[in-house]
Structure 1
Amino acid sequence: MLAARKRIACGAVVTAVAVGLAGCSGSGSPETKPGNTAGTETEGGAHGAKKGPPKSAVRLIGDGSTAYTGVQPGVLKPERLKPGQKPPQFVVFSWDGAGEDSQKLFSHFREVGKKYDAKMTYFLSGVYLLPKDKSKQYSPPQHAVGRSDIGFNDAEGIKNTLRELRGAWQDGNEIGTHFNGHFCGADGGVGTWSVEEWKSEISQAKAFVKNWKTNSGLATEPPLPFDYEKELVGARTPCLEGQKNMMAAARTMGFRYDSSGVGNQVWPKKTEGMWDIPLQLVPVPGRKFETLSMDYNFMFNQSKTVNGDPSQHVYWGNQMRDGLIQAFDRAYDGNRAPLIIGNHFESWNGGTYMRAVEETIKTVCVKDGVRCVTFKELVDWLDAQDPETLERLRGLGVGQKPPTGWQAYLTAPEAPASPLAPAAPGSASAPAPASADGPADDPADGPDAGLNPGPDAGSAPEGEPAAGR
């Protein structure tokens, strides 16, 4: 079982029309961790995946912790939109610090994904494959050797996590990274790290995956069926901190995207060569603000603790589910921007958020024209598109349909320069800049989330310590 229990930190973001708490990117609560753990107006293609080639001989890499086993099976083949074709509705479900513990949520959501044709991205924390007695292998930036704010794992936790990682990849899912020690805040947190420090952290995260056999002594366990040096193309930072320097480091190390930002439901763009695909502000039904599309943020706005009033658990889960579905609907019927959702394998407030996520998957992933994909599949599709088409898509605001219809909008010589459609009540209609004034009060409900300005500011649920020293 993990020697140390996870501490959570989250940030705050304020917009002119909405207040939302910036997403906590830590996996795990203070209680548990892995180890403890037709016409041109047609839909943009149906669900479909190219089948992998026949199995070939396994080629072990390094100490045999990883292996080349051929092209990943079950991956969606990217196709360029035809002129005037409505884009697919992409939805990405992602999991921070993914690992299998006694809750068995990793294995559960793998089965949910297969049932509803939903591929997902699992952001693995490298220390989940490092046993406590080898903690000195980790040299975190600005912290003592062997330090981790989410602890380390044990043999059982490592074996269980490896089993799920193998199966997830073979199912067509993506294995990204959540880095290692999950340090947050001003005292040596990831937001203070230099580009060179980030390069060290990324190299170590890769090394723990590529050398788990040597580090754990689990020599008889099968290898991971992929070359992690090539598989790893994206990340989310702890507490959504340190994105700028992380991206500067990661773009030199094979990364193609990052999902550590805070934004709205609009089409993503590249930042200095990498796709910047943020978490998004989504409705909180019954409230006058929006929050980030992550389980932690709904929890913080509702109870500020992972052990809130049991009589409210069902309501809180329904509120998250309905908020995510409202966000989906305004994209599906509007600009078709990808919906990005972040989660943790946790049973906060009685597991109500896990139920909410599962019910959201069950509702949206089966709809016509919807593709529930990994980040890697999404960026493959984005890279396959005509740049002019993407620029026109980015011209649509939150929930805005093309004013002339999809066929005219995506075949016109120039994108119409029309004003954004009025935002629905509680929706975010502009990017999410920080405000030094802090959050606005909700007249109906009193002050809400937002303890510090900016998407990288750190805060913690009531009664829980903030990550970092």
Structure 2
Amino acid sequence: MRDFGGVSRRGLLGWGLGAAAAVGIAGCGSPAASDPGTPGPVKNPKGPKPGEKPAAKALGDGSTADTGPQPHQPDKPVPLQPGETPPQFVVFSWDGAGEIGNGLFPRFLKLAKDHGAGMTFFLSGLYLLPESKKSLYQPPNNPVGASDIGYLKDENIRNTLKCVREAWLDGHEIGTHFNGHFCGGSGSVAKWTPDDWQSEIDQAVSFVTNWRTNTGFTDLEPLPFDYRKELVGARTPCLLGQDNLLATAQKLGWRYDSSSPGGLQVWPVKKSGIWDLPLQSLPFPGHSFEVLSMDYNILANQSKNTTRGVPANYPGWRTQATATYLGGFRRAYETNRAPLFIGNHFEEWNGGIYMDAVEEAFKGMADKRDVRLVSFRQFTDWLDVQDPKVLAKLRGLGPGEPPAGGWAAYMTSA
């Protein structure tokens, strides 16, 4: 396992959200949040018209509903033409995707809407299950009801449901971060079998599709999608266990996985018939090593796994985190145009500097020519319509390697 600046990648990857944050901050569905009936820019007209609710067909106990095609999707992707410069894709993704009262979920929904962007939210199924019902969760190789990320308060479950609903109506993807987030010991996901993953996925889907029964909430609208059809990709806890997950993912018809333990800024390949879309190693300003493209990994190298470091260091750390994201973006944008994948958590570690860095970097990318801020599923849609020979040509470029003779010459020979 490669070491990044003296801090092991395996110990850094993908914390879930805690359950102890205060409630009371305006969340999704409030006047301060975006209106899911209002279309964002750069979207096609499929779905409901502005101000019009989609026709809903209740599924199961009414926790979810089939409302038809998802609104606010990009135009249908088309193959690259000979000599054409590929777009610069950027995927911002969120592990856990719970709104715990700190207002971060609605904050980034608004940011995405302001720029016509798509994102991927890897929802943890347990975030829709009350702790009073934790006996319903039977995690593989762990005690019944066990979880390394805790359960949310009822009010936070409500906020999460509102935000997930709004996210989908705004055009974002809802993936899965599974449930209990087990990274160590005998019950670690690193040791799970394909059957264990199947059980975990079945339970995650059950918690999403039966939240009304499990919570007893009767005053909230259903999630406006069929999760069994919506779910086409995931990220595992701590980026562990992908090999055995892929066998199950392939059986389920999933299209991609973002659980590789780190990758390079190159064009992706498939593993076991599934697009492998890993977090990537990015230049880390001030260091000779690179850091994984996730907020917690930057934190771990700055404050050595401590989420409350010395406040005097926050301004410098924020600048360094922003520069990491933008440096990785420029390296791809100005050379091989490899997609950039960034992982985040709705957390206020080290005074919230990583959320500020993500927002600043997002804005620094959004206004550039040929940049497409999309979800993993939308990027997969684009990959699937490309000529395999064209993708192979793109994969011939290493990190930071520009096309010989320029894009017109390089891609004409594809």
Question: What TM-score do the two structures reach when normalised by structure 1?
Answer: 0.80
Percent of aligned positions that are identical:
53
Name the structure 2 match of 1:93.
Answer: 92
In the TM superposition, residue 154 of structure 1 has moved relative to its aligned partner by: 3.0
CA 1:292–1:137 in 2, change beyond 3 Å: closer, same or farther? same
After superposition, the C-alpha distances for 1:27-46 in whole angstroms (9 at most, x for unaligned) are: 22596499999xxxxxxxxx
After superposition, the C-alpha distances for 1:343-380 in whole angstroms (9 at most, x for unaligned) are: 11111111111000000011101211000100000000
Matched, 1:229 2:228: yes
Name the structure 2 match of 1:189.
Answer: 188
Distance 1:212 1:56 in 2: 21
The 8 Å contact of residues 90 and 371 in structure 1, kept in 2 or not, is answered as yes
Q: How does 1:402-417 map to 2 (within 5 A)?
A: 402-412=403-413
In the TM superposition, residue 195 of structure 1 has moved relative to its aligned partner by: 0.7
Name the structure 2 match of 1:198.
Answer: 197
CA 1:365–1:33 in 2, change beyond 3 Å: closer, same or farther? farther
In the TM superposition, residue 21 of structure 1 has moved relative to its aligned partner by: 2.8
Name the structure 1 match of 2:15.
Answer: 26
Q: How does 1:298-447 map to 2 (within 5 A)?
A: 298-304=298-304, 305-412=306-413
AA matched with 1:299: L
CA 1:34–1:368 in 2, change beyond 3 Å: closer, same or farther? farther
The 8 Å contact of residues 92 and 343 in structure 2, kept in 1 or not, is answered as yes
The number of residues matched between the two structures is 392
The 8 Å contact of residues 117 and 365 in structure 1, kept in 2 or not, is answered as no
Give the superposed CA RMSD. 2.1
Distance 1:369 1:13 in 2: 33
Q: How does 1:22-421 map to 2 (within 5 A)?
A: 22=10, 23-28=12-17, 32=21, 48-54=42-48, 56-76=54-74, 77-261=76-260, 262-304=262-304, 305-412=306-413
Name the structure 2 match of 1:453.
Answer: none
Distance 2:132 2:167 in 1: 27
AA matched with 1:259: S
In the TM superposition, residue 13 of structure 1 has moved relative to its aligned partner by: 2.9
Name the structure 2 match of 1:454.
Answer: none
Structure 2: runs of 5+ lacking an equivalent:
28-40
Matched residue of 2:80: which SS?
coil
In the TM superposition, residue 170 of structure 1 has moved relative to its aligned partner by: 0.7
In the TM superposition, residue 185 of structure 1 has moved relative to its aligned partner by: 1.6
The 8 Å contact of residues 67 and 227 in structure 1, kept in 2 or not, is answered as yes
In the TM superposition, residue 146 of structure 1 has moved relative to its aligned partner by: 1.2
In the TM superposition, residue 247 of structure 1 has moved relative to its aligned partner by: 1.4
Distance 1:18 1:282 in 2: 16
AA matched with 2:9: L
Name the structure 2 match of 1:444.
Answer: none
Distance 2:270 2:22 in 1: 34
Distance 2:363 2:244 in 1: 37
Distance 2:324 2:202 in 1: 38
More helix by share: 2
The 8 Å contact of residues 34 and 153 in structure 1, kept in 2 or not, is answered as no
Distance 2:203 2:162 in 1: 21
In the TM superposition, residue 264 of structure 1 has moved relative to its aligned partner by: 0.4
CA 1:30–1:132 in 2, change beyond 3 Å: closer, same or farther? closer
The 8 Å contact of residues 19 and 290 in structure 1, kept in 2 or not, is answered as no
Distance 2:406 2:192 in 1: 46
Distance 2:125 2:155 in 1: 16
CA 1:366–1:315 in 2, change beyond 3 Å: closer, same or farther? same
Matched residue of 2:252: which SS?
coil
Distance 1:223 1:188 in 2: 33
Distance 1:147 1:194 in 2: 19
In the TM superposition, residue 19 of structure 1 has moved relative to its aligned partner by: 7.9
The 8 Å contact of residues 100 and 152 in structure 2, kept in 1 or not, is answered as no
Structure 1: runs of 5+ lacking an equivalent:
1-11, 38-46, 416-469
AA matched with 1:332: Y
The 8 Å contact of residues 138 and 144 in structure 2, kept in 1 or not, is answered as yes
The 8 Å contact of residues 318 and 354 in structure 2, kept in 1 or not, is answered as yes
AA matched with 1:403: A
AA matched with 2:202: S
Distance 2:87 2:24 in 1: 38
Distance 2:8 2:264 in 1: 11
Moved more, 360-369 or 147-156: 147-156
The 8 Å contact of residues 20 and 281 in structure 1, kept in 2 or not, is answered as no
AA matched with 1:24: L
Distance 1:84 1:321 in 2: 33
